[in-house]
Amino acid sequence: MAQARAQAQNQDERALVKYLVGAGLGSRRHCAALVLSGYVTVNGDIAESLTLQVTHRDNIEVDGRLVTARRTGHVYLLANKPDGHLSSVTDDRGRPTVIDLVPRALRVNGLVPAGRLDLHSTGLILLTDDGELVNRVTHPRYEVEKEYHVTLDGVLTPSGSSKLRNGLTIETGEARALAVRRLHEENGYRYSITLNEGRKREVRLLFRAIGRQVTALQRVRIGNLLVDRIKEGDVVEMTPHELASLQRLVGMSVPEPASSGKQTPVQKQGPPTSGRRGTPSNPRRGGSAPGVRRTDKRPRVR
């Protein structure tokens, strides 16, 4: 029987880099770079070997976040973009982007924002590597509503509100608001405006066309997705219920989720910092396995 257990364990073992690829973290090259850069720990030790043999019983973390090889399919994230972050994947001028908010364990190949917000606008952004969902959320044909809360430099008159709903000609063409309302519960000239497009600077240009200037803008809703539970600068994984609801909204056929799950923030953490390299010892006494080194930042998980 002991021999059978040993054989089963051997069959479950795989090289660390293969395990990370199986967890959906990207290509083999990307996963190898994570290991070689010191972002991967195995049972609390910083991994040094791409071929280190691991199993599902090991505690494997990337940049402080637990990962498992059971993840399949696409990654679906929601971010609350802060002021000063670009809604892009990279920037040749080195400015921060929304991808910088995403923990490395979730930065899979092809991860992009579905729609954009201006540099100084804040609020909800959907990030995914599912190209079909990106297309349906952003294309006007699917009429996915986007709601924004704006602060204006003055009062919005009934005439101005009517013009927004009836439609105006702006730099990018004809545009109109689906709904406009005053946010009476908030101080200042605060309004909600809902569109089913998301062209560049569309909200700001609409208000400029009626003589008003937007001094602050936050996207609070995309379809059925809300920003109110996400702290500014945080990233969360979409719950199965949220994902299924959004997919149905844009006409994608999906099975009913088994449960909604609980949405929890994923805090961005700095890269693991290695401590002094430990002296090899007897594994039965808790020494580090070959291919890993101890780090003082995290206790060893047994």
CATH number for position 106 = 3.30.70.580
Q: What is the pLDDT of residue 69?
A: 63
Residue 89 in domain: yes
In 3D space, the residue among 97, 132, 127 whose CA is nearest the CA of residue 115 turns out to be 127
Q: How many residues does the chain have?
A: 302
What is the Cα–Cα distance from 266 to 66, expressed in whole angstroms? 11
Q: Which domain holds residue 196?
A: 145-222
In this structure, the dihedral spanned by the alpha carbons of residues 272, 82, 26 and 292, taken in order and rounded to 10 degrees, is: 0
Q: What is the pLDDT of residue 1?
A: 41
Burial class (CB in 10 A: 0-12, 13-18, 19+), 93: exposed
Q: DSSP code of 58? A: S
Residue 205 half-sphere exposure toward CB, CA atoms < 13 A: 17
In 3D space, the residue among 60, 63, 49, 48 whose CA is nearest the CA of residue 19 turns out to be 60
273 and 261: one domain? no
Q: What is the pLDDT of residue 256?
A: 52
Active site includes 91?
Answer: no
In 3D space, the residue among 160, 191, 187, 164 whose CA is nearest the CA of residue 176 turns out to be 164
Query: By the 8 A CB rule, do 287 and 46 touch?
Result: no
Phi and psi at 134, nearest 5°, equal -55, -45
Q: What is the pLDDT of residue 111?
A: 92
Task: Report if pTM > 0.75.
Answer: no
Residue 30's CATH number: 3.10.290.10
What is the Cα–Cα distance from 25 to 22, expressed in whole angstroms? 7
Residue with tokens 């924004």, as numbered in its chain: 148
238 and 212: one domain? no
100 and 217: one domain? no
58 and 182: one domain? no
214 and 163: one domain? yes
What is the Cα–Cα distance from 217 to 190, expressed in whole angstroms? 10
Q: What is the pLDDT of residue 250?
A: 94
pLDDT along the chain (302 residues), means of 10: 42 79 82 93 93 87 81 84 95 94 86 93 96 92 95 96 94 92 92 89 95 97 95 93 94 62 49 41 42 46 35
Residue 94 in domain: yes
| Count of domains forming the chain | 3
What is the Cα–Cα distance from 290 to 272, expressed in whole angstroms? 19
236 and 131: one domain? yes
251 and 204: one domain? no
154 and 283: one domain? no
83 and 137: one domain? yes
234 and 135: one domain? yes
Residue 60 in domain: yes
Catalytic residue among 118, 130, 228, 234: 118
